[in-house]
């Protein structure tokens, strides 16, 4: 019997369908060993020896794999063909064989770039050994990240705020976001006016823009300095303001518009290379509005189902078999005229690219479409994107004709540009930035009417328009991935996790696809720039990546490299000792923003404003949603003034006699009963509904809000109250823990019982309880035979049996969960709950004894 070990159950199921009798396939469910979660886990004194431990929840998995391995004649490690896959294979061998030499000799390594029957069979026929230099490179990377993270993060806790983290690649990515936000803050808008002529010839209309006046170019956005908002020094241009633009428009009202010059040229466009990990993430973000993490999750599922080749690659190489298959499909689908004259072969420019991998393409040699495979939803959209990009690589060039028309009217010269696609070529399959190539072809064309030099044109209208320069755009997932790849920061396979970490740590928020850095990101970046500049320098981090690649090639000793980075006079350890005492916590927690009178500080509960005035100190919380680049001096001073004035007093509660206040907090305006006092219970508060403005709030409104959740009536079936309230996620109605959010025009202050019953009777559309069906059923519990299932929760997927829930560990996908793993997670959840309960009891006893 041959045992094949892969990472995921989904991949295992696909392989089982290809391998017949004589093979069993088991999954490790990702990594099985890693550095411990607590502590450094690296013995610096013993040559940076890592201290690996079994990952939580993987004990039953290893036990099952060990039992299968002892029965097998040969064990084939078929983990992914990259450094992480190599590391998983290595740790499986170490964990299962231990000192058993005979068992160790039965392990062989196989790799394949696509999960097709032919590729898997070919790999089994050519087994090899684990690539130790790649293991050392992966290990060096892991230790390097641990040294940076575990040594710098505690420093951030001491100097700025607890819970912060630093990372070798993460901190560089955060700095890129912060630098762009600084540019936006420093930006000064420039304004100008333009003139546009609506012209016609032989009844066909077109528009032309003013290009020159008396032979001098008219100013446009590119002529302005972003930091001053004024024209760049040395620019010889005519700057139109409103008055001059209107005067010019009036003077040209009776002018004769004549074609002065026609310029025509032709160009060709060649198709883009096939997708790498980075370019797939960028296009999926632009075209499908998918984040990097979601793109990789869908791509992983497609790969494991045998639909696409391996999706973690920085190579644009296509195999000869793939090229032949694509060309056959192009000719059949689009016709011979759309096939490139010769096969196109792409080569990766990056020295570190793994040419043994292929680019991302449809697996196999049939090139089926998404419709032919019966794909749906996200998988259909992403596969179609990959199919089109790969197909376009073997299609003919697109041929375009460009026409530029120069039109004279007195001393003014206007210009109109046109573009015609004479032959679409690869555009038929793929247009960058568009998910509908046929529609994009029409949008790309700007057709001008036929004209000749000296011909008079009819001017139907002259239009003056105002313009302002725009600040540099914030990064999106796509733009950040592109920048990281261009700078050689990290590896494409890590970009999705980098962006997720930056968001999870609170260094940025995603809003309308933009990644907006927070004030905390500014403080952390400034500290690192001042005291550890190498760690946030793109050039230095890129050199680290190259060094890791050299380790993978066997050219550099990994221990010697780590020694140079960490130890010695200029190493990380020495710099930590040197700077720790020199860093002033008050200075480190102060965000430096130019042109702002108050200071921005990072406090325990978030960013706040601080200003010294008349010997006193004013402070005010910065409401959530204000980006660092958008916080102006006027707004900041207004927040401080409002805070200094204190809360608005609305009146007294007729029942308790306590004062009712209207206040402004980090999460917006709210009302409060009574005052907060040290050691006393927190006063009752209630947020204002979205449609209620602070100036509209009366004492009666405040009392209504503070009384929530308010009974509306009794449910006719249960006899229990139906209530309305406002919670963390907005207004709601509830009956016996069954919640429904209010919609549209529903007002929590005047909603009726009948309307509440109508909302409660409708099926849920979101939330944990909304999904009556689990994501998947893992199997039956061996004790009570009740199902164990995976559900989608607010904080991620979780396993559920009866009333017991357990979150999935980081890195474990729903498809990876087996019954043994689920039982282990549920057991540990029960043990944690029991420990908490016991601890609470002991704590209560101690408090009682102390009080006595």
Largest CA distance in the chain: 105
Return the structure tokens found at 768: 């944990």
Burial group, residue 313, by CB count within 10 angstroms (0-12, 13-18, 19+): buried
Question: Residue written as tokens 């760049």?
Answer: 232
Strands 796-801 and 787-793: antiparallel
- Phi/psi at 380 (nearest 5 deg)? -65, -45
Return the structure tokens found at 267: 């160009």
3-state secondary structure of 531: helix
Question: Residue written as tokens 């042109």?
Answer: 595
3-state secondary structure of 269: strand
- Phi/psi at 288 (nearest 5 deg)? -110, 0
Burial state string for 464-503 with b = 16 or more CB within 10 A and e = fewer than 16: beebebebeebbbbbbbbbbbbeebbbbbbbbbbbbebbe
User: What SS3 string covers 544-574?
Assistant: HHHHHHHHHCCCCCHHHHHHHHHCCCCCHHH
Active site positions, annotated: 310
Please say whether the beta carbons of 809 and 56 come within 8 A.
yes
Distance CA 278, CA 582 (A): 40
222 DSSP β-pair partners: none
Burial state string for 228-260 with b = 16 or more CB within 10 A and e = fewer than 16: eeebeeeeebbbbeeeebeebbeebeeeebebe
Distance CA 26, CA 19 (A): 13
Handedness of CA 779, 780, 783, 786 (dihedral sign): positive
Of 99, 486, 504, whose CA–CA distance to 291 is shortest?
504
Burial group, residue 695, by CB count within 10 angstroms (0-12, 13-18, 19+): exposed
Please say whether the beta carbons of 723 and 738 come within 8 A.
no
Return the structure tokens found at 590: 């102060």
685 DSSP β-pair partners: 672
Of 26, 42, 31, 6, whose CA–CA distance to 95 is shortest?
31
């Amino acid at each position: 019997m041959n045992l094949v070990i892969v990472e995921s159950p989904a991949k295992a199921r696909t392989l089982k369908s290809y391998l017949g009798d004589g093979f069993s396939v088991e999954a490790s469910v990702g990594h099985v060993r890693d550095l411990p979660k607590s502590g450094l886990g690296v013995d610096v004194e013993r040559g940076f020896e890592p201290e690996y431990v079994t990952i939580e929840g993987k004990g039953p998995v290893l036990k099952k794999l060990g039992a299968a391995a002892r029965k097998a004649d040969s064990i084939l490690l078929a983990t992914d063909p990259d450094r992480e896959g190599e590391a998983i294979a290595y740790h499986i061998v170490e964990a299962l064989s231990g000192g058993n030499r005979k068992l160790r000799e039965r392990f062989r390594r196989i790799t394949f770039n696509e999960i097709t029957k032919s590729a898997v069979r070919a790999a089994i026929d050519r087994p090899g050994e684990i690539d130790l230099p790649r293991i050392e490179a992966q290990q060096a990377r892991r230790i390097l990240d641990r040294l940076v993270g575990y040594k710098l993060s505690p420093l951030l806790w001491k100097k700025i705020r607890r819970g912060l983290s630093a990372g070798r690649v993460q901190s560089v990515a955060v700095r890129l976001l912060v630098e762009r936000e600084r540019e936006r803050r420093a930006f000064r808008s420039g304004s100008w006016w333009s003139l546009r002529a609506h012209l016609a010839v032989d009844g066909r209309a077109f528009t032309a823009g003013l290009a020159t006046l008396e032979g001098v170019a008219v100013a446009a956005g590119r002529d302005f300095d972003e930091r001053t908002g004024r024209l760049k020094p040395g620019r010889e241009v005519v700057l139109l303001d409103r008055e001059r633009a209107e005067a010019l428009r009036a003077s040209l009202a009776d002018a004769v518009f004549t074609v002065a010059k026609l310029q025509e040229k032709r160009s060709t466009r060649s198709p883009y290379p096939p997708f790498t990990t980075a370019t797939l993430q960028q296009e999926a973000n632009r075209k499908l509005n998918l984040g990097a993490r979601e793109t990789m999750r869908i791509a992983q599922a497609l790969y494991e189902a045998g639909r696409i080749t391996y999706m973690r690659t920085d190579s644009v190489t296509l195999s000869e078999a793939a090229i032949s298959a694509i060309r056959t499909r192009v000719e059949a689908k689009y016709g011979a005229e759309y096939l490139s004259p010769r096969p196109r072969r792409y080569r990766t420019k990056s020295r570190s690219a793994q040419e043994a991998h292929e680019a991302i393409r449809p697996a196999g040699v049939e090139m089926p479409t998404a419709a032919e495979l019966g794909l749906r939803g996200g998988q259909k959209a992403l596969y179609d994107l990959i199919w089109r990009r790969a197909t376009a690589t073997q299609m003919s060039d697109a041929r375009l004709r460009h026409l530029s028309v120069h039109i004279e009217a007195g001393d003014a010269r206007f210009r109109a540009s046109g573009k015609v696609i004479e032959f679409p070529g690869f555009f038929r399959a793929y247009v960058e930035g568009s998910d509908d190539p046929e529609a994009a072809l029409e949008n790309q064309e700007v057709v001008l009417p036929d004209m000749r030099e000296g011909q008079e044109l009819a001017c139907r209208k002259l239009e003056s328009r105002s313009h302002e320069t725009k600040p540099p755009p914030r990064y999106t997932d796509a733009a950040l991935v592109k920048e990281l790849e261009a700078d050689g920061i990290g590896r494409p396979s890590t970009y999705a996790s980098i962006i997720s970490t930056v968001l999870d740590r609170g260094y940025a928020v995603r809003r309308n696809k933009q990644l907006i850095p927070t004030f905390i990101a500014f403080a952390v970046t400034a500290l690192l720039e001042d005291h550890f500049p190498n760690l946030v320098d793109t050039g230095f981090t890129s050199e680290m990546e190259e060094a890791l690649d050299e380790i993978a090639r066997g050219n550099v000793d990994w221990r010697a490299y780590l020694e140079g980075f960490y130890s010695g006079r200029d190493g990380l350890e020495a710099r930590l000792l040197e700077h720790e005492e020199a860093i002033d916590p008050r200075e480190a927690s102060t965000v430096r923003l130019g042109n702002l009178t108050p200071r921005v500080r990072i406090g325990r509960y978030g960013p706040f404003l601080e200003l010294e005035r008349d010997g006193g100190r004013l402070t005010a919380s910065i409401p959530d949603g204000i980006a660092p680049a958008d916080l102006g001096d006027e707004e900041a001073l207004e927040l401080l003034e409002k805070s200094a004035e204190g809360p608005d007093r609305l009146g007294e509660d007729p029942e308790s006699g306590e004062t009712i206040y209207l206040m402004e907090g980090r999460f917006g305006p709210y009302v409060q009963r009574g005052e907060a006092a040290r050691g006393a219970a927190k006063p009752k508060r209630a947020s204002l509904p979205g449609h209620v403005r602070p100036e509209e709030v009366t004492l009666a409104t405040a009392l209504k809000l503070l009384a929530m959740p308010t009974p509306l009536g009794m449910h006719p079936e249960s006899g229990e109250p139906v209530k309305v309230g406002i919670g963390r996620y907005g207004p709601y109605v509830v009956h016996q823990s069954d919640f429904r959010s209010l919609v549209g025009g529903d007002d929590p202050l005047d909603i009726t019982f009948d309307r509440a019953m109508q909302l409660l009777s409708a099926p849920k559309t979101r939330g944990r309880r909304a999904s009556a069906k689990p994501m998947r059923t893992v199997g039956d519990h061996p004790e009570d035979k009740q199902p164990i299932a995976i559900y989608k929760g607010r904080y991620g997927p979780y396993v559920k049996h009866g009333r017991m829930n357990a979150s999935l560990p980081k890195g474990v996908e729903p498809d990876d969960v087996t019954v043994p793993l689920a039982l282990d997670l549920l057991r540990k959840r029960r043990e944690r709950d029991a420990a908490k309960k016991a601890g609470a009891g002991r704590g209560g006893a101690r408090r009682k004894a102390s009080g006595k």
